[in-house]
Structure 1
């Protein structure tokens, strides 16, 4: 019981700390480059507790992710030749990565948006974008759009449903992912026709 009470106190201190926003930015950075745990598990309760900072929390999570995406792109761009095999085996497999590289070359912008929204490791898109020397500006714009949809979407849910947000997100997570994936794929398909 003392551990639970201590954890609860530390969480409460963090929520109202002056370091809360920088902590979210750092957590988002690490989530986008190495940590396979979705940031949503922390963001939704934090957004519910700090509705007065709701939009800023979503913004800082987006900024952290974009910084992480820039770092991942840099690794793919500059270090892929030296560490590519290890990176592929850590985050993917050679066949999957080859497919991702081809998709980057064929539909880079829409591919990054799709991977940034759906629950596929974003690290794959970052490395492929860097390794294929895809336009850094287009990569960052696509990353910003995708992650803004994801994090500001959470903020909208919290804004509209308040303390019910966490329950509603857990209950409808599969439906939401199917909807977002379908939407991203439709936009991607539409872009191929234009």
Structure 2
């Protein structure tokens, strides 16, 4: 089932309204869809490199809007909607573990790692942010920075290097994204320590 869903998502890149489909996939990925928007974004940017930044903007915008939807599901309808979705994907236990120690700092870490490297899946984090009532402004800004950084970095690489960079992206980019996220997190907590702001994590 997952392979067929992946192949179907990839096939959308060749359709006349591919940009619309990119917006749809980026939106639903952030709230309940299993396949990341990268699967559609990469072949589209390779096919039309001059539109790479336009595609990155579309993917970022609708990913953030989808994130807001995931946030609203977690905030207003966790039991009715979010819980069944998480259970369907086998993420409910992991979600409960994250929820037990979710505060602003923890959520910022998760938004950074999920936005840059899909760890954990973005849909889990958007629902979590709503379920624990993280501030909406904080949430939206974090999503814009993390998701925008990923899509625009991909756009830059694909526009500059074309298909020669595709293998690198598919095999190595996730590792680089994890390292980048770790550096940002360490910098953030380093600044908090310097500022003497007290407790760093909620658990």
Pair 1:49-2:47 in alignment = yes
Pair 1:118-2:117 in alignment = yes
Aligned to 1:167: 167
Alignment gaps of 5+ in structure 1: 1-6
Q: Which has the larger radius of gyration?
A: 1
User: 1 or 2, which has the higher helix percentage?
Assistant: 1
Aligned to 2:25: 27
Aligned to 2:3: none
Q: 1:83 to 1:191 in 2, by over 3 A?
A: farther
| 106-115 vs 150-159, which moves further | 106-115
Pair 1:38-2:21 in alignment = no
Give, in whole Å, the separation in 2 of the partners of 1:174 and 1:72.
23
Q: Is the 8 A contact 2:113 2:178 kept in 1?
A: no
Aligned to 1:155: 155
Aligned to 1:105: 103
For residue 88 of structure 1, report the CA deviation from its aligned partner: 4.1
TM-score in terms of structure 1 length: 0.80
TM-score in terms of structure 2 length: 0.77
For residue 161 of structure 1, report the CA deviation from its aligned partner: 1.0
Q: Is the 8 A contact 1:104 1:111 kept in 2?
A: no
Aligned to 1:140: 140
RMSD of the TM alignment (CA)?
A: 2.5
Q: 1:188 to 1:93 in 2, by over 3 A?
A: farther
Q: Aligned to 1:66, which of 64, 67, 70?
A: 64
Give, in whole Å, the separation in 1 of the partners of 2:61 and 2:115.
14
Q: Is the 8 A contact 1:110 1:142 kept in 2?
A: no
| Superposed CA offset, 1:75-105 (max 9, x none) | 01111144454344234233x3233224431
Q: Is the 8 A contact 1:115 1:125 kept in 2?
A: yes
| Superposed CA offset, 1:144-176 (max 9, x none) | 111001111100111221221212212423532
Give, in whole Å, the separation in 2 of the partners of 1:87 and 1:35.
10
Alignment gaps of 5+ in structure 2: 1-7, 196-203
Q: Is the 8 A contact 1:44 1:165 kept in 2?
A: no
Between the two proteins, the alignment pairs up a number of residues equal to: 182
